Amino acid sequence: MTDKPFSLVFIEALLERCLGAVEWQEQGDPRMALSLADDSAAAAGYLRYWQAPDASPLDRMLHMRLMAGPVETQLMFIFGKPASSMPHFHAQAVQFPPAGCVYNVDLLPRLDPVDHPEWFERVFAPLRRPYRQATADKDNSCNQAPANPALALYMSPYGIASSQTTREELERVSPSVDAYLEHYLSLAAESGWDECDAADMRARDSRHLAKFFADDMDPRAWNGVYRIIGEVSGRQLKALIEQPAQR
Protein backbone atom coordinates (compact mmCIF):
# COMPACT_ATOMS: atom_id res chain seq x y z
CA MET A 1 0.00 0.00 0.00
CA THR A 2 1.34 3.44 -0.92
CA ASP A 3 0.66 6.85 0.58
CA LYS A 4 1.18 8.51 -2.79
CA PRO A 5 -1.80 10.22 -4.42
CA PHE A 6 -3.47 7.78 -6.80
CA SER A 7 -3.13 10.27 -9.66
CA LEU A 8 0.65 10.27 -9.16
CA VAL A 9 0.75 6.47 -9.04
CA PHE A 10 -1.23 6.37 -12.29
CA ILE A 11 1.14 8.69 -14.16
CA GLU A 12 4.34 7.26 -12.65
CA ALA A 13 3.35 3.81 -13.94
CA LEU A 14 3.13 5.25 -17.46
CA LEU A 15 6.47 7.01 -17.04
CA GLU A 16 8.13 3.82 -15.79
CA ARG A 17 6.95 1.96 -18.89
CA CYS A 18 8.35 4.71 -21.12
CA LEU A 19 11.68 4.83 -19.30
CA GLY A 20 12.05 1.10 -19.84
CA ALA A 21 11.36 1.36 -23.57
CA VAL A 22 13.46 4.39 -24.62
CA GLU A 23 16.93 5.55 -23.54
CA TRP A 24 15.80 8.90 -22.20
CA GLN A 25 18.22 11.40 -20.67
CA GLU A 26 16.71 13.39 -17.82
CA GLN A 27 17.48 17.11 -17.90
CA GLY A 28 17.75 18.40 -14.33
CA ASP A 29 16.37 16.79 -11.20
CA PRO A 30 13.80 18.24 -11.59
CA ARG A 31 14.03 20.57 -14.57
CA MET A 32 11.85 23.13 -12.75
CA ALA A 33 10.78 23.19 -9.10
CA LEU A 34 7.43 24.85 -8.47
CA SER A 35 6.49 26.91 -5.42
CA LEU A 36 3.37 28.70 -4.28
CA ALA A 37 2.90 32.22 -5.58
CA ASP A 38 2.22 33.60 -2.10
CA ASP A 39 4.91 31.57 -0.31
CA SER A 40 8.06 30.82 -2.30
CA ALA A 41 9.28 28.48 0.46
CA ALA A 42 6.24 26.20 0.02
CA ALA A 43 6.59 23.49 -2.63
CA ALA A 44 3.87 23.30 -5.27
CA GLY A 45 5.28 20.49 -7.39
CA TYR A 46 7.81 20.14 -10.20
CA LEU A 47 8.42 19.60 -13.88
CA ARG A 48 10.55 16.61 -14.85
CA TYR A 49 11.98 16.62 -18.37
CA TRP A 50 13.63 13.90 -20.46
CA GLN A 51 15.26 14.19 -23.87
CA ALA A 52 15.05 11.34 -26.37
CA PRO A 53 18.07 9.96 -28.27
CA ASP A 54 18.94 11.73 -31.51
CA ALA A 55 18.05 8.63 -33.57
CA SER A 56 14.56 8.37 -32.07
CA PRO A 57 11.48 9.94 -33.71
CA LEU A 58 10.66 11.21 -30.20
CA ASP A 59 11.84 14.58 -28.94
CA ARG A 60 11.04 15.00 -25.23
CA MET A 61 8.94 13.61 -22.38
CA LEU A 62 7.60 15.70 -19.50
CA HIS A 63 5.78 15.16 -16.24
CA MET A 64 4.28 18.13 -14.44
CA ARG A 65 3.08 17.61 -10.91
CA LEU A 66 1.13 20.56 -9.53
CA MET A 67 -0.03 20.55 -5.91
CA ALA A 68 -2.60 22.96 -4.51
CA GLY A 69 -3.56 21.77 -1.04
CA PRO A 70 -5.43 18.48 -1.44
CA VAL A 71 -5.76 18.88 -5.23
CA GLU A 72 -3.11 17.10 -7.36
CA THR A 73 -2.64 17.63 -11.09
CA GLN A 74 -0.47 15.23 -13.09
CA LEU A 75 0.27 16.15 -16.71
CA MET A 76 2.34 13.91 -18.98
CA PHE A 77 3.46 14.58 -22.54
CA ILE A 78 5.66 12.76 -25.02
CA PHE A 79 6.40 14.84 -28.09
CA GLY A 80 7.50 13.57 -31.48
CA LYS A 81 10.34 15.44 -33.16
CA PRO A 82 9.09 18.73 -34.60
CA ALA A 83 10.22 17.97 -38.16
CA SER A 84 8.59 14.52 -38.17
CA SER A 85 5.01 13.25 -38.33
CA MET A 86 5.41 11.18 -35.14
CA PRO A 87 2.28 11.88 -33.06
CA HIS A 88 2.38 13.37 -29.58
CA PHE A 89 1.14 11.43 -26.53
CA HIS A 90 -0.81 13.13 -23.76
CA ALA A 91 -2.14 11.83 -20.45
CA GLN A 92 -3.53 13.73 -17.49
CA ALA A 93 -5.09 12.98 -14.12
CA VAL A 94 -6.41 15.59 -11.69
CA GLN A 95 -7.26 14.30 -8.22
CA PHE A 96 -9.39 15.99 -5.57
CA PRO A 97 -10.73 14.75 -2.23
CA PRO A 98 -12.00 12.43 -1.11
CA ALA A 99 -11.53 10.18 -4.17
CA GLY A 100 -12.60 12.29 -7.13
CA CYS A 101 -10.72 12.87 -10.35
CA VAL A 102 -10.82 13.79 -14.00
CA TYR A 103 -8.54 12.17 -16.57
CA ASN A 104 -7.75 12.10 -20.27
CA VAL A 105 -5.45 10.38 -22.75
CA ASP A 106 -4.90 10.98 -26.45
CA LEU A 107 -2.50 10.87 -29.38
CA LEU A 108 -2.27 14.31 -30.99
CA PRO A 109 -2.30 14.15 -34.82
CA ARG A 110 0.47 15.76 -36.86
CA LEU A 111 -1.08 15.53 -40.35
CA ASP A 112 -4.42 16.23 -41.99
CA PRO A 113 -6.74 13.20 -42.30
CA VAL A 114 -8.03 14.18 -45.75
CA ASP A 115 -4.58 14.52 -47.33
CA HIS A 116 -2.96 11.71 -45.34
CA PRO A 117 -5.57 8.98 -44.66
CA GLU A 118 -2.89 6.26 -44.58
CA TRP A 119 -1.13 8.08 -41.73
CA PHE A 120 -4.36 8.20 -39.71
CA GLU A 121 -4.98 4.51 -40.33
CA ARG A 122 -1.47 3.66 -39.14
CA VAL A 123 -1.70 5.79 -35.99
CA PHE A 124 -5.32 5.42 -34.91
CA ALA A 125 -6.77 2.15 -36.27
CA PRO A 126 -5.16 0.06 -33.46
CA LEU A 127 -6.85 2.33 -30.88
CA ARG A 128 -10.37 1.37 -31.91
CA ARG A 129 -10.63 -1.54 -29.50
CA PRO A 130 -9.26 0.18 -26.35
CA TYR A 131 -11.27 3.31 -27.20
CA ARG A 132 -14.44 1.25 -27.47
CA GLN A 133 -13.68 -0.66 -24.27
CA ALA A 134 -13.43 2.62 -22.33
CA THR A 135 -16.26 4.60 -23.91
CA ALA A 136 -18.85 1.85 -24.42
CA ASP A 137 -19.22 1.33 -20.66
CA LYS A 138 -22.28 3.35 -19.65
CA ASP A 139 -20.89 3.67 -16.13
CA ASN A 140 -17.84 5.58 -17.41
CA SER A 141 -18.19 9.33 -17.76
CA CYS A 142 -15.79 9.22 -20.73
CA ASN A 143 -18.66 7.93 -22.91
CA GLN A 144 -19.92 11.52 -23.10
CA ALA A 145 -19.02 14.33 -25.50
CA PRO A 146 -15.78 16.24 -24.80
CA ALA A 147 -16.04 18.89 -22.09
CA ASN A 148 -14.12 21.43 -24.19
CA PRO A 149 -14.90 21.01 -27.93
CA ALA A 150 -12.66 23.97 -28.83
CA LEU A 151 -9.63 22.21 -27.35
CA ALA A 152 -10.75 18.86 -28.78
CA LEU A 153 -10.29 20.28 -32.30
CA TYR A 154 -6.52 20.20 -31.72
CA MET A 155 -6.59 16.64 -30.39
CA SER A 156 -7.93 13.46 -32.01
CA PRO A 157 -11.39 11.84 -32.15
CA TYR A 158 -9.86 8.92 -30.25
CA GLY A 159 -9.24 10.95 -27.09
CA ILE A 160 -10.63 9.35 -23.92
CA ALA A 161 -11.66 12.08 -21.49
CA SER A 162 -13.80 11.99 -18.37
CA SER A 163 -15.97 14.51 -16.66
CA GLN A 164 -15.82 14.63 -12.85
CA THR A 165 -15.63 11.00 -11.77
CA THR A 166 -14.03 8.61 -9.29
CA ARG A 167 -10.84 6.67 -8.72
CA GLU A 168 -12.77 3.49 -9.52
CA GLU A 169 -13.48 4.69 -13.07
CA LEU A 170 -9.84 5.65 -13.59
CA GLU A 171 -8.87 2.12 -12.56
CA ARG A 172 -11.46 0.61 -14.94
CA VAL A 173 -10.16 2.69 -17.84
CA SER A 174 -6.46 2.19 -17.04
CA PRO A 175 -6.14 -0.90 -19.32
CA SER A 176 -7.25 1.25 -22.27
CA VAL A 177 -4.76 3.98 -21.29
CA ASP A 178 -2.04 1.34 -21.09
CA ALA A 179 -3.02 0.10 -24.55
CA TYR A 180 -2.72 3.63 -25.95
CA LEU A 181 0.77 3.97 -24.49
CA GLU A 182 1.89 0.54 -25.70
CA HIS A 183 0.71 1.36 -29.20
CA TYR A 184 2.48 4.72 -29.04
CA LEU A 185 5.76 3.13 -27.99
CA SER A 186 5.44 0.59 -30.78
CA LEU A 187 5.06 3.46 -33.26
CA ALA A 188 8.16 5.12 -31.78
CA ALA A 189 10.12 1.93 -32.50
CA GLU A 190 9.19 2.11 -36.19
CA SER A 191 10.71 4.20 -38.98
CA GLY A 192 8.92 6.18 -41.65
CA TRP A 193 8.10 9.36 -39.72
CA ASP A 194 10.36 11.68 -41.72
CA GLU A 195 8.53 14.12 -43.96
CA CYS A 196 9.86 15.58 -47.21
CA ASP A 197 9.27 19.15 -46.03
CA ALA A 198 10.87 19.25 -42.59
CA ALA A 199 10.60 23.04 -42.34
CA ASP A 200 6.86 22.89 -43.01
CA MET A 201 6.40 20.20 -40.35
CA ARG A 202 8.30 22.28 -37.78
CA ALA A 203 6.17 25.31 -38.57
CA ARG A 204 2.93 23.33 -38.35
CA ASP A 205 3.96 21.79 -35.05
CA SER A 206 4.80 25.21 -33.64
CA ARG A 207 1.41 26.59 -34.69
CA HIS A 208 -0.39 23.51 -33.38
CA LEU A 209 1.19 23.65 -29.92
CA ALA A 210 0.83 27.43 -29.70
CA LYS A 211 -2.94 27.01 -30.16
CA PHE A 212 -3.13 23.93 -27.95
CA PHE A 213 -1.42 25.69 -25.03
CA ALA A 214 -2.96 29.13 -25.55
CA ASP A 215 -4.43 30.76 -22.45
CA ASP A 216 -7.75 31.40 -24.17
CA MET A 217 -8.05 27.78 -25.31
CA ASP A 218 -8.37 26.53 -21.73
CA PRO A 219 -8.54 29.66 -19.53
CA ARG A 220 -9.80 27.84 -16.44
CA ALA A 221 -6.78 25.52 -16.42
CA TRP A 222 -4.11 28.14 -17.12
CA ASN A 223 -5.60 30.74 -14.77
CA GLY A 224 -5.53 28.04 -12.11
CA VAL A 225 -1.83 27.41 -12.78
CA TYR A 226 -1.04 31.13 -12.58
CA ARG A 227 -3.03 31.47 -9.38
CA ILE A 228 -1.08 28.64 -7.72
CA ILE A 229 2.51 29.37 -8.83
CA GLY A 230 2.27 32.90 -10.23
CA GLU A 231 2.01 34.05 -13.83
CA VAL A 232 5.76 34.47 -14.39
CA SER A 233 6.52 30.92 -13.25
CA GLY A 234 3.45 29.62 -15.04
CA ARG A 235 4.57 31.06 -18.36
CA GLN A 236 8.10 29.70 -17.85
CA LEU A 237 6.56 26.29 -17.20
CA LYS A 238 4.40 26.50 -20.31
CA ALA A 239 7.40 27.49 -22.47
CA LEU A 240 9.38 24.47 -21.25
CA ILE A 241 6.50 22.17 -22.15
CA GLU A 242 5.79 23.74 -25.52
CA GLN A 243 9.28 24.31 -26.93
CA PRO A 244 11.27 21.50 -28.60
CA ALA A 245 14.37 20.11 -26.88
CA GLN A 246 17.57 22.03 -27.50
CA ARG A 247 19.93 19.75 -29.45
Q: How far apart, in whole angstroms, are the C-alpha atoms of residue 211 and residue 60?
A: 19
Average pLDDT, the chain: 95
- The answer to whether the CB of 63 falls within 8 A of the CB of 72 is no
Residue 122's pLDDT is: 97
Residue 247's pLDDT is: 78
Contacts of 22 (CB under 8 A, 6+ apart): 52, 53, 56, 58, 61, 185, 188
**pLDDT tens, position by position, 146-189:** 777 778 888 999 999 999 999 999 999 999 999 999 999 999 99
Quote the pTM value: 0.95
Q: Is the pLDDT of residue 45 over 60?
A: yes
Q: What's the mean pLDDT in 116-143?
A: 95
**pLDDT tens, position by position, 187-223:** 999 999 998 899 999 999 999 999 999 999 999 999 9
Nearest Cα to Cα of residue 131 among 89, 170, 176: 176
Q: Is the pLDDT of residue 13 over 90?
A: yes
Instruction: Look at strands 100-108 and 160-161 and give their pairing.
Output: antiparallel
Does residue 195 or residue 77 have the better pLDDT?
77
Residue 147's pLDDT is: 72
Residue 214's pLDDT is: 95
Q: What's the mean pLDDT in 42-59?
A: 97
Instruction: Tell me the pLDDT band of 241, cut-offs 50, 70 and 90.
Output: very high
Residue 196's pLDDT is: 86
Q: Is the pLDDT of residue 84 over 60?
A: yes
Q: Around Cβ 137, how many Cβ atoms within 10 Å?
A: 15
Q: How far apart, in whole angstroms, are the C-alpha atoms of residue 228 and residue 60?
A: 25
Contacts of 37 (CB under 8 A, 6+ apart): 226, 227, 228, 229, 230, 233
- The answer to whether the CB of 60 falls within 8 A of the CB of 79 is yes
Q: What's the mean pLDDT in 117-134?
A: 96
Q: How far apart, in whole angstroms, are the C-alpha atoms of residue 100 and residue 113?
A: 36
Give me the percent of the chain exceeding a pLDDT of 70. Answer: 99
Domains of the chain, each with CATH number or no CATH: 6-242 (3.40.1500.20)
Give strand pairing partners of 35. 43
Residue 171's pLDDT is: 96
Q: Is the pLDDT of residue 2 over 70?
A: no
Q: What's the mean pLDDT in 20-42?
A: 96
Residues recorded for the chain: 247
Instruction: Tell me the pLDDT band of 1, cut-offs 50, 70 and 90.
Output: low
